[in-house]
């Protein structure tokens, strides 16, 4: 019955994301990761079975919310958090045991959306029955709307970013075929695969952003001192072979031939930074980001996870559902707007990058 499962430290390395929501890092992973190791080692429970368990616990918490009394609200909040722990465990078990599947990802996504909608309606219905205040009807609609909005927004942003990267890679491949030019890497891929370099790069940029003005959109690997040529090649290979994870993963860098490797030895890889304007505009953000990265916390401090925890845990625990829902929803909107603004600046970097390719093509033709 036992599986050959590595020690807990190795399980953490395999299963925990390099960057995650602060609620998950601080309040879920310390419990979920040891449970994942025990589950994988001593049972044959599959990730899909854990997904079903999380969904059923979510329905139980919705039933508790519907009663409306503060005692049931506390019980519902507790069960909802257990449901979320299981929801985090399914993906970890899949990564640890290699049992992940496309259907499992779909099932997890659909059950998450149903759980949020059912719990939102049940919570507000219980409070409406308890108080008779019509604001709870509007809050129920707001919870479902905001949860749907953030997923649609995340999906569309991913599609746009993927399209930009695809177009840039197509341009570079064409240039490589014509001139055997250097390989291509995206700054975010290099930094994602080397978080320590990410921190040092951010600190260095924050210190010099107001003193120097560098061309936006295109840089060289030599500007990123902590990332060696070997790490650059590794980042490119990993980005090509790794699968997309949830709503926030992106397409990797394509390096598909020995000729490309030879070109990389001849010249440094060209690094495309589609977030350079944002980095230059907000150097203070870079310092804060470096601090969060050290603790594996992403800078998107109020995402869907924190929104759910505010509505379904903090609100019921403190018997303050209206305030918790309004504050959580407002903060979610603020951070979603920040992501949209960051995308806007990224599209400007993209335009400048494409223009630089066109200028190079004209110069080469001349």
Query: DSSP 3-state assignment of 72?
Result: helix
Distance spanning both ends of the chain, measured CA to CA = 70
If one compares 300 and 265, the residue with the highest pLDDT of the two is 300
- Please count the other Cβ atoms lying within 10 Å of the Cβ belonging to residue 78: 15
pTM over 0.85: no
Q: What is the pLDDT of residue 258?
A: 42
CA distance 180 to 127: 67
Detail the DSSP E strand segments found in the chain.
184-186, 218-220, 270-272
- Residues 286-315 have pLDDT tens digits of 888 889 989 999 999 999 999 999 999 999
Residues 305 and 311: their CA atoms lie apart, in Å, by 10
185: helix, strand or coil: strand
pLDDT band at 322 (very low <50, low <70, confident <90, very high): very high
Query: What is the pLDDT, as a whole number, of residue 201?
Result: 57
pLDDT per position as a tens digit, 99-146 = 989 999 999 999 999 999 999 999 999 999 999 999 999 999 999 999
Structure-block tokens of residue 208: 């010099």
**Location of structure tokens 């709870």:** 136
pLDDT of residue 65: 98
pLDDT at residue 173, as a whole number: 81
Pairing relationship of beta strands 270-272 and 218-220 according to DSSP bridges? antiparallel
């Amino acid at each position: 019955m036992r599986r050959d499962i590595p020690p807990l430290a190795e399980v953490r390395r395999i299963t925990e994301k390099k960057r995650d929501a602060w609620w998950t890092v601080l309040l879920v992973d310390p419990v979920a990761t040891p449970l994942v190791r025990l589950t994988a080692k001593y049972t044959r429970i599959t990730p899909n079975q854990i997904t079903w368990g999380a969904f059923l616990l979510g329905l139980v918490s919705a039933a508790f919310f519907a009663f409306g009394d503060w005692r049931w609200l506390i019980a519902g909040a507790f069960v909802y958090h257990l449901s979320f722990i299981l929801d985090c465990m399914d993906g970890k078990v899949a990564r640890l045991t290699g049992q992940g599947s496309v259907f499992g990802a779909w099932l997890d996504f659909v059950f998450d959306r149903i759980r949020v909608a059912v719990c939102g309606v049940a919570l507000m219905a219980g409070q409406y029955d308890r108080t008779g205040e019509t604001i709870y009807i509007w809050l129920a609609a707001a919870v479902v709307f905001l949860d749907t909005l953030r997923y649609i927004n995340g999906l569309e942003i991913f599609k746009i970013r993927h399209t930009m990267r695809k177009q840039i890679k197509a341009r570079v491949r064409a240039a490589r075929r014509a001139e055997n030019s250097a390989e291509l890497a995206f700054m975010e891929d290099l930094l994602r695969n080397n978080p320590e370099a990410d921190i040092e790069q951010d600190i260095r940029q924050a210190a010099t952003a107001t003193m120097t003005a560098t061309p936006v959109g295109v840089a060289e690997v030599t500007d990123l001192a902590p990332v060696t040529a070997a790490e650059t090649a590794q980042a490119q290979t990993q980005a090509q072979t790794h699968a997309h994870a949830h709503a926030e993963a992106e397409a990797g860098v394509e390096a598909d031939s020995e000729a490309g490797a030879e070109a990389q030895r001849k010249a440094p890889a060209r690094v495309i930074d589609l977030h350079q304007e944002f980095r230059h505009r907000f150097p203070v953000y870079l310092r804060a980001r470096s601090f969060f990265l050290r603790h594996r916390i992403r800078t998107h401090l109020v995402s869907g996870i924190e929104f759910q925890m505010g509505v379904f845990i903090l609100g019921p625990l403190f018997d303050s559902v209206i305030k918790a829902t309004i504050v959580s929803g407002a903060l979610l909107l603020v951070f979603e707007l920040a992501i949209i603004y960051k995308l806007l600046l990224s599209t400007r970097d993209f335009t400048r990058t494409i223009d630089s390719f066109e200028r190079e093509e004209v110069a080469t033709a001349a």
